[in-house]
Structure 1
Amino acid sequence: MTDPALNDGSAGAGDLRTAELAGRLEAVRRRIGVAAAAAGREDRLPTLIVVTKFHPVEDIRRLAALGVTDVGENRDQEAAGKAEILAECGLTWHFVGQLQTKKAKSVVRYASAVHSVDRPQLVDALAKAAHNERAAAGRAPLDCFIQVNLEDHADAGAHRGGAAPGDVLLLADRIAEAEGLRLAGVMAVAPLGAPPEPAFEKLAGVSARLVAQHPGAAAISAGMSQDLEAAIAFGATHLRIGSDILGSRPVVG
């Protein structure tokens, strides 16, 4: 069965959809600008990654025409198909979901960055795949963000995933030593049902400790539609925004 997200989605009111996306995109960019100004970061706006999971390729084409350069996906099968179809758009693809080691070979073929590196086995799988799939073609190293679990209680990892803060430096060393990988920084999702500010403050502390050991790993991937302002206030360099730009996920019937 063809993945509905790989259909072009262009039947009907294409111009209306482009206008809708343009308005939503502009509203998010305004929010980013206001939040960056409040944080004294007008000259250092974070990278906007539009998370396009479950949305059709034609929406991504529209976004590219509107100036979007970075898109995020969290399912390899869907992402791989979209990246192939949209190769001419020159987009930068970010893998932002939980990743099985067996999918590493596929992901490194199209993604420029993986934001969910959370265990040594995944580092090793990505390194092997990057060596086999990227190095021979002369492609740049794969950017790796260490996903950090910011939950306070022990069983919370089932909700968000990620490495414990105390394990970040060990993972960082492993990534830094791997040929074909580049340690970019950290990533996290704010805990469910709690204010995001304490979590992002905690992430900023984890980032500072990482940068003290690996000065080039200063990126912080944090902030989604509901909490981008808090993420920017605590130093986010990459935002992962989906529903506020693309709207609700399409109904699969």
Structure 2
Amino acid sequence: MAGMLADKNILVTGVLLESSIAFHAAKLAQEQGANVILTAYGRVSLVERIAKRLPKPVPVVELDVSDRAQLDSLATRVGQYAEELDGVVHSIGASPSDTLGGNFLHAPWDSVAQALHVSAYSFASLSSACLPLMRKGGSIVGIDFDSSLAWPDYDWMGVAKASLESVSRYLARYLGAQSIRVNLVASGPIRTMASRSIPSFDAFVDIWEKRSPIHWDENDPVPTAKAVVALLSDWFPATTGEIVHVDAGLHAVGA
């Protein structure tokens, strides 16, 4: 039986460890029939080792989203493995330590600019870099964390996520004419490499334990990955500019 991503070519960014949401999105995409290509930031050999744990072998392409030259050459380099792309997963985010942990009022602009560049602007620059390979349209999906509230110690990363959400809406507006859908999956807190940089991550987990209507497992990235795969598929043909919450319903309830 063919999967929901049968014969689709999907580019997945952000795979670093097996705990990554991106790793499980890549794994599920393969299980649903997709041909997956990964990108790696700096640690190409590490990503290649982690990639061996996927069901099928995958190529790994180096990509630093803050490097214009790498973005400009991305379509050519990915094109060595796939003539066209049907989907792109943006699972990229970083914020210097001095922009987190309650330092909101004193964070220097250089650090804030880096957070916004890597975590928000890169959604647009990555999408633009992939456009030459998305001639038949497709789906671009980003990983989000709900920014409608101010979270403890999340500080400028929260602002970056708010920017990401706005970028996704503008991308949906400008790419719709090319039959490209753009959506975000707002995940609850997941214990990943990125979460280790958040000083109050355990406080996030405690909030979810107390408030979410259904149980949330911070060690299980699969529910989030499933939503990513669903949005990459043809089962959401008229959905764009949307934020799908996979957070056990916490976004919908008060204290």
Q: Same fold (TM over 0.5)?
A: no
TM-score with structure 2 length normalisation? 0.39
Q: Which has the higher helix share?
A: 1
TM-score with structure 1 length normalisation? 0.39
